[in-house]
Amino acid sequence: MINLKQVSFSYGDTPVLHHIDLLVQEGEMVALLGPNGSGKTTLIKLLSGVLRPISGDIYLDGSKLSRMKRRQVAQHVAVVPQQFSMPFAFTVREVVLLGRTPFLSVFSDEGEQDHRVVQQAIERIGIAPLKERFFNELSGGERQKAILAMALAQEPKILLLDEPTAHLDINHQVEILDLVKRLNREQGVTVIGAMHDLNLASLYFDRLLLLKEGRIFADGTPEKLLTAETIEEVFAASVQVTQHPLTKSPHIVVVPRQSPLE
């Protein structure tokens, strides 16, 4: 589904990603993990076509991404950004309808099929009671659900998430990731998400990529990668790794640098 061959990227004279080789199969759920500045968001932008590598190639379902038009990419790839601003007084339904833009010709109106897909996306994400409310009046968690519904309305093969649970309370974090996991299982959507929370990544993603200084440091399952030694080497943090009491997946407990009793 996605194939990166020796991809590098720099912002001006500042290198960010170095010679990335990556193969993601259809239907996988992959979490990108790493400290701030390791290149997670940049990699998401490269995969979406917003940025282009300075060297190397990215292939999307066998086609070279650099040769695809923006509309073509958007018909295959949907992005849920960390933040989404709406300067207009759009309702939730109107925001979700924006997901159909890649399928509309210039100056054409939405058809019956577009409205049907939008309604299905709204119902699947569970925001039907919100669809006539103004997007800018919603809470952070409600907005994120609306953005996810907009992405779903694109009928994507690939869903890219840039820290989808940032700034959300624990209830909405779980709700969003439950929805993403369900889309993956029921519709076979390939998911790649930049994540900060190691425990949420361990619970919801089957494959982890650890980035360090713009390179892939490790690639594997949560059980393989989330060890105290690896986390200390990548994040420079002391942790203890236990088992989640219900799922048995790795669970990270942070060790304070200074005892709270001191």
| pLDDT at residue 107, as a whole number | 58
| pLDDT at residue 108, as a whole number | 64
- The answer to whether position 254 is within a domain reads no
- The answer to whether position 239 is within a domain reads no
Which CA distances in Å does 217 have to 31, 39, 214, 220?
13, 12, 9, 10
The reply to whether 7 and 113 lie within a common domain is: no
Q: Which residue has the tokens 């006539």?
A: 132
154: DSSP letter: T
In terms of residue numbers, what domain contains 96? Answer: 85-155
| pLDDT at residue 39, as a whole number | 93
Pairing of strands 29-33, 190-194: parallel
Query: How many Cα atoms within 13 Å fall on the side-chain side of residue 193?
Result: 30
Tokens of 168: 């959300």
Query: How many Cα atoms within 13 Å fall on the side-chain side of residue 140?
Result: 13
Q: Are 170 and 178 in contact (CB under 8 A)?
A: no
| pLDDT at residue 256, as a whole number | 85
- The answer to whether position 190 is within a domain reads yes
Which CA distances in Å does 138 have to 54, 80, 100, 171, 175?
39, 17, 22, 16, 16
The reply to whether 117 and 161 lie within a common domain is: no
- The answer to whether position 247 is within a domain reads no
Q: Give the residue from 114, 136, 155 where a domain finishes.
A: 155
Low-confidence ranges of the chain (pLDDT < 50): none
- The answer to whether position 172 is within a domain reads yes
Separation of alpha carbons 13 and 258, rounded Å: 38
Q: What is the number of domains present in the chain?
A: 2
Q: Which residues of 241-254 are buried (b: 16+ CB within 10 A; e: fewer)?
A: beeeeeeebbbbee
User: How does pLDDT run across 71-104, given as a tens digit for each residue?
Assistant: 889 989 999 987 777 777 899 999 999 999 888 7
